[in-house]
Protein backbone atom coordinates (compact mmCIF):
# COMPACT_ATOMS: atom_id res chain seq x y z
CA UNK A 1 0.00 0.00 0.00
CA UNK A 2 1.21 3.51 -0.80
CA UNK A 3 -0.44 6.92 -0.90
CA UNK A 4 -1.03 8.90 -4.07
CA UNK A 5 1.81 11.43 -3.83
CA UNK A 6 4.20 8.95 -2.24
CA UNK A 7 3.62 6.66 -5.23
CA UNK A 8 4.34 9.53 -7.61
CA UNK A 9 7.59 10.21 -5.75
CA UNK A 10 8.60 6.58 -6.28
CA UNK A 11 7.49 6.77 -9.93
CA UNK A 12 9.79 9.78 -10.37
CA UNK A 13 12.66 7.77 -8.81
CA UNK A 14 13.27 10.46 -6.18
CA UNK A 15 15.15 8.03 -3.98
CA UNK A 16 17.98 10.26 -2.77
CA UNK A 17 17.64 12.96 -0.09
CA UNK A 18 17.18 16.34 -1.75
CA UNK A 19 15.35 15.02 -4.82
CA UNK A 20 11.96 16.65 -5.36
CA UNK A 21 8.95 16.03 -7.58
CA UNK A 22 5.82 18.06 -8.31
CA UNK A 23 2.57 16.56 -9.60
CA UNK A 24 0.17 18.79 -11.56
CA UNK A 25 -3.40 17.55 -11.67
CA UNK A 26 -6.54 19.11 -10.22
CA UNK A 27 -4.27 20.37 -7.45
CA UNK A 28 -0.47 20.39 -7.16
CA UNK A 29 1.63 18.42 -4.72
CA UNK A 30 5.36 18.82 -4.15
CA UNK A 31 7.36 16.23 -2.19
CA UNK A 32 10.99 16.56 -1.14
CA UNK A 33 12.87 13.43 -0.07
CA UNK A 34 14.56 14.10 3.30
CA UNK A 35 15.94 10.59 3.75
CA UNK A 36 16.01 9.14 7.26
CA UNK A 37 15.38 12.57 8.84
CA UNK A 38 11.86 13.69 9.68
CA UNK A 39 12.41 17.43 9.27
CA UNK A 40 10.06 19.88 10.95
CA UNK A 41 9.39 22.73 8.53
CA UNK A 42 9.81 26.35 9.58
CA UNK A 43 7.43 27.31 6.77
CA UNK A 44 4.28 25.31 7.49
CA UNK A 45 5.03 22.43 5.13
CA UNK A 46 3.98 18.93 6.15
CA UNK A 47 6.37 16.29 7.45
CA UNK A 48 5.29 12.91 6.12
CA UNK A 49 6.42 9.34 5.56
CA UNK A 50 7.44 8.83 1.94
CA UNK A 51 7.68 5.04 2.19
CA UNK A 52 8.83 2.21 4.43
CA UNK A 53 10.72 -0.70 2.89
CA UNK A 54 12.09 -3.62 4.89
CA UNK A 55 11.53 -1.70 8.11
CA UNK A 56 13.47 1.38 6.96
CA UNK A 57 11.50 4.62 6.81
CA UNK A 58 12.16 7.41 4.31
CA UNK A 59 10.64 10.79 5.14
CA UNK A 60 9.59 13.78 3.04
CA UNK A 61 8.43 17.36 3.22
CA UNK A 62 5.19 17.96 1.36
CA UNK A 63 3.48 21.10 0.11
CA UNK A 64 -0.07 21.08 -1.23
CA UNK A 65 -1.69 23.52 -3.66
CA UNK A 66 -5.46 23.22 -3.70
CA UNK A 67 -6.09 24.50 -7.23
CA UNK A 68 -3.93 23.91 -10.32
CA UNK A 69 -5.70 22.13 -13.19
CA UNK A 70 -9.01 22.92 -11.48
CA UNK A 71 -8.49 26.56 -12.48
CA UNK A 72 -8.33 25.51 -16.14
CA UNK A 73 -11.50 23.46 -15.62
CA UNK A 74 -13.15 26.59 -14.23
CA UNK A 75 -12.23 28.61 -17.32
CA UNK A 76 -13.75 25.83 -19.42
CA UNK A 77 -16.84 24.80 -17.45
CA UNK A 78 -17.55 27.85 -15.28
CA UNK A 79 -16.75 30.81 -17.52
CA UNK A 80 -16.85 28.98 -20.88
CA UNK A 81 -13.80 30.95 -22.04
CA UNK A 82 -12.22 27.85 -23.59
CA UNK A 83 -13.60 24.70 -25.15
CA UNK A 84 -10.90 22.33 -23.90
CA UNK A 85 -7.77 22.37 -21.77
CA UNK A 86 -5.67 21.70 -24.87
CA UNK A 87 -6.34 25.30 -26.02
CA UNK A 88 -4.38 26.76 -23.11
CA UNK A 89 -0.91 26.51 -24.64
CA UNK A 90 -1.94 28.22 -27.89
CA UNK A 91 -3.69 30.98 -25.96
CA UNK A 92 -0.70 31.54 -23.68
CA UNK A 93 1.65 31.72 -26.67
CA UNK A 94 -0.65 34.07 -28.61
CA UNK A 95 0.17 37.08 -26.38
CA UNK A 96 3.61 38.37 -25.34
CA UNK A 97 2.64 38.65 -21.66
CA UNK A 98 -0.32 38.43 -19.31
CA UNK A 99 -0.56 42.24 -19.66
CA UNK A 100 -0.42 42.80 -15.90
CA UNK A 101 -3.15 40.26 -15.12
CA UNK A 102 -2.74 37.95 -12.12
CA UNK A 103 -5.08 35.09 -11.32
CA UNK A 104 -5.14 33.88 -7.71
CA UNK A 105 -7.18 30.65 -7.80
CA UNK A 106 -8.08 30.57 -4.10
CA UNK A 107 -11.50 29.06 -4.84
CA UNK A 108 -11.32 26.90 -1.71
CA UNK A 109 -8.78 28.99 0.16
CA UNK A 110 -5.00 28.89 -0.11
CA UNK A 111 -2.92 25.82 0.75
CA UNK A 112 0.74 25.68 1.72
CA UNK A 113 2.55 27.71 2.81
CA UNK A 114 -0.34 30.13 3.57
CA UNK A 115 -2.99 27.76 4.96
CA UNK A 116 -5.70 30.40 4.66
CA UNK A 117 -9.06 28.61 4.24
CA UNK A 118 -10.97 31.89 4.07
CA UNK A 119 -9.01 33.43 1.18
CA UNK A 120 -11.00 33.71 -2.03
CA UNK A 121 -10.04 33.79 -5.67
CA UNK A 122 -9.54 36.88 -7.78
CA UNK A 123 -8.43 38.05 -11.20
CA UNK A 124 -6.47 41.26 -10.72
CA UNK A 125 -5.08 43.85 -13.12
CA UNK A 126 -7.96 43.82 -15.61
CA UNK A 127 -8.20 46.64 -18.15
CA UNK A 128 -10.21 47.30 -21.30
CA UNK A 129 -7.34 45.67 -23.19
CA UNK A 130 -7.60 42.35 -21.31
CA UNK A 131 -8.35 39.40 -23.59
CA UNK A 132 -9.22 35.77 -22.94
CA UNK A 133 -5.62 34.90 -23.84
CA UNK A 134 -4.31 37.12 -21.02
CA UNK A 135 -6.57 35.40 -18.48
CA UNK A 136 -5.58 31.96 -19.78
CA UNK A 137 -1.90 32.84 -19.57
CA UNK A 138 -2.32 34.27 -16.06
CA UNK A 139 -4.07 31.05 -14.99
CA UNK A 140 -1.10 28.94 -16.05
CA UNK A 141 1.32 31.41 -14.49
CA UNK A 142 -0.57 31.07 -11.19
CA UNK A 143 0.35 27.38 -11.12
CA UNK A 144 4.01 28.36 -11.51
CA UNK A 145 3.88 31.06 -8.84
CA UNK A 146 2.22 28.72 -6.35
CA UNK A 147 4.93 26.16 -7.09
CA UNK A 148 7.58 28.75 -6.32
CA UNK A 149 5.84 29.50 -3.02
CA UNK A 150 6.34 25.85 -2.04
CA UNK A 151 9.85 25.47 -3.39
CA UNK A 152 11.04 28.70 -1.74
CA UNK A 153 9.66 27.34 1.54
CA UNK A 154 11.61 24.12 1.00
CA UNK A 155 14.77 26.09 0.19
CA UNK A 156 14.32 28.06 3.39
CA UNK A 157 14.01 24.75 5.23
CA UNK A 158 17.45 23.82 3.91
CA UNK A 159 16.77 22.11 0.58
CA UNK A 160 19.28 22.59 -2.24
CA UNK A 161 17.18 22.16 -5.38
CA UNK A 162 19.15 21.36 -8.50
CA UNK A 163 16.20 20.11 -10.54
CA UNK A 164 12.46 19.53 -10.23
CA UNK A 165 10.87 16.40 -11.68
CA UNK A 166 7.34 17.19 -12.91
CA UNK A 167 4.43 14.94 -13.78
CA UNK A 168 0.66 14.86 -14.07
CA UNK A 169 -1.74 15.79 -16.85
CA UNK A 170 -0.85 19.49 -16.97
CA UNK A 171 2.81 18.96 -17.87
CA UNK A 172 2.01 17.94 -21.45
CA UNK A 173 1.84 21.73 -21.93
CA UNK A 174 5.37 22.73 -23.00
CA UNK A 175 4.72 26.43 -22.39
CA UNK A 176 3.66 25.75 -18.80
CA UNK A 177 6.76 23.68 -17.97
CA UNK A 178 9.07 26.26 -19.53
CA UNK A 179 7.39 29.05 -17.57
CA UNK A 180 7.68 26.91 -14.44
CA UNK A 181 11.44 26.59 -14.97
CA UNK A 182 11.66 30.35 -15.48
CA UNK A 183 9.59 31.07 -12.37
CA UNK A 184 11.42 28.77 -9.95
CA UNK A 185 14.86 29.35 -11.46
CA UNK A 186 15.92 25.73 -11.89
CA UNK A 187 15.68 22.90 -14.39
CA UNK A 188 12.39 21.04 -14.78
CA UNK A 189 12.55 17.42 -15.95
CA UNK A 190 9.51 15.80 -17.57
CA UNK A 191 9.66 11.99 -17.54
CA UNK A 192 8.87 9.66 -20.40
CA UNK A 193 5.94 8.36 -18.33
CA UNK A 194 3.94 11.22 -16.78
CA UNK A 195 1.43 8.94 -15.01
CA UNK A 196 3.93 8.44 -12.23
CA UNK A 197 1.46 7.52 -9.49
CA UNK A 198 0.52 4.29 -11.26
CA UNK A 199 4.15 3.73 -12.23
CA UNK A 200 5.33 4.10 -8.63
CA UNK A 201 2.77 1.63 -7.30
CA UNK A 202 3.79 -0.82 -10.04
CA UNK A 203 7.45 -0.32 -9.12
CA UNK A 204 6.84 -1.28 -5.51
CA UNK A 205 4.77 -4.27 -6.58
CA UNK A 206 7.66 -5.29 -8.84
CA UNK A 207 10.10 -4.86 -5.99
CA UNK A 208 8.02 -7.03 -3.69
CA UNK A 209 7.48 -9.71 -6.33
CA UNK A 210 11.15 -9.88 -7.26
CA UNK A 211 10.91 -8.22 -10.68
CA UNK A 212 13.26 -5.55 -9.29
CA UNK A 213 15.96 -6.38 -6.78
CA UNK A 214 16.44 -2.79 -5.57
CA UNK A 215 15.17 0.76 -5.97
CA UNK A 216 18.42 1.58 -7.75
CA UNK A 217 17.47 -0.83 -10.53
CA UNK A 218 14.21 1.03 -11.05
CA UNK A 219 16.00 4.38 -10.81
CA UNK A 220 18.34 3.48 -13.65
CA UNK A 221 15.31 2.83 -15.86
CA UNK A 222 13.85 6.32 -15.23
CA UNK A 223 14.19 8.58 -18.27
CA UNK A 224 13.55 12.25 -18.88
CA UNK A 225 11.52 12.82 -22.03
CA UNK A 226 12.53 16.51 -22.02
CA UNK A 227 14.29 18.97 -19.73
CA UNK A 228 13.44 22.67 -19.51
CA UNK A 229 16.07 25.16 -18.33
CA UNK A 230 15.29 28.72 -17.18
CA UNK A 231 15.88 31.46 -19.75
CA UNK A 232 14.20 34.38 -17.98
CA UNK A 233 16.45 37.00 -16.42
CA UNK A 234 16.70 37.15 -12.65
CA UNK A 235 15.35 40.71 -12.61
CA UNK A 236 12.31 39.74 -14.69
CA UNK A 237 11.70 36.64 -12.58
CA UNK A 238 11.70 38.60 -9.33
CA UNK A 239 9.58 41.44 -10.72
CA UNK A 240 6.86 39.03 -11.83
CA UNK A 241 6.94 37.08 -8.58
CA UNK A 242 6.72 40.31 -6.56
CA UNK A 243 3.50 41.06 -8.47
CA UNK A 244 2.18 37.63 -7.51
CA UNK A 245 2.91 38.20 -3.82
CA UNK A 246 1.04 41.51 -3.97
CA UNK A 247 -1.92 39.76 -5.62
CA UNK A 248 -1.98 37.07 -2.94
CA UNK A 249 -1.94 39.70 -0.23
CA UNK A 250 -5.09 41.20 -1.75
CA UNK A 251 -7.10 37.99 -1.41
CA UNK A 252 -5.98 36.90 2.06
CA UNK A 253 -8.79 36.75 4.60
CA UNK A 254 -7.14 39.36 6.82
CA UNK A 255 -7.04 41.77 3.87
CA UNK A 256 -10.85 41.80 3.45
The domain that holds 101 is classified in CATH as: 3.30.420.40
Task: Please provide the average confidence, as pLDDT, over all residues in the chain.
Answer: 96
Identify the pLDDT of residue 254: 79
d(CA 46, CA 62): 5
d(CA 218, CA 221): 5
Within a domain: 120: yes
Within a domain: 123: yes
Q: How far is CA 27 from CA 17, 68, 71, 137, in A?
A: 24, 5, 9, 18
Q: Are 62 and 30 in contact (CB under 8 A)?
A: yes
For residue 253, name the pLDDT band (cuts at 50, 70, 90). confident
d(CA 142, CA 131): 17
Q: Which domain holds residue 140?
A: 69-149+235-246
Within a domain: 107: yes
**Average pLDDT estimate for 115-122:** 96
Q: Are 206 and 250 in contact (CB under 8 A)?
A: no
Within a domain: 16: no
Res. 205: pLDDT tops 70:
yes
Q: Which residues of 197-228 are buried (b: 16+ CB within 10 A; e: fewer)?
A: bebbbbbbeebeeeebeebeebbeebeeeeeb
**Average pLDDT estimate for 241-246:** 98
- β-strands 102-104, 122-124: how paired? antiparallel
The total domain count for the chain is: 1
Res. 252: pLDDT tops 80:
yes
Within a domain: 88: yes
Res. 110: pLDDT tops 90:
yes
Within a domain: 165: no
Within a domain: 94: yes
Amino acid sequence: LIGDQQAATVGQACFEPGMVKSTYGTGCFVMLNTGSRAITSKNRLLTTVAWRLKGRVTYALEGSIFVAGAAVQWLRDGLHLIGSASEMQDLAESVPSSNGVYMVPAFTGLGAPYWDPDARGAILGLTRDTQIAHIARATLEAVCYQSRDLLDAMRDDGADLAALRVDGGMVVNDWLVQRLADTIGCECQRPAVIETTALGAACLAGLQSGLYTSLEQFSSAWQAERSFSPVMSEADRERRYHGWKKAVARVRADAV
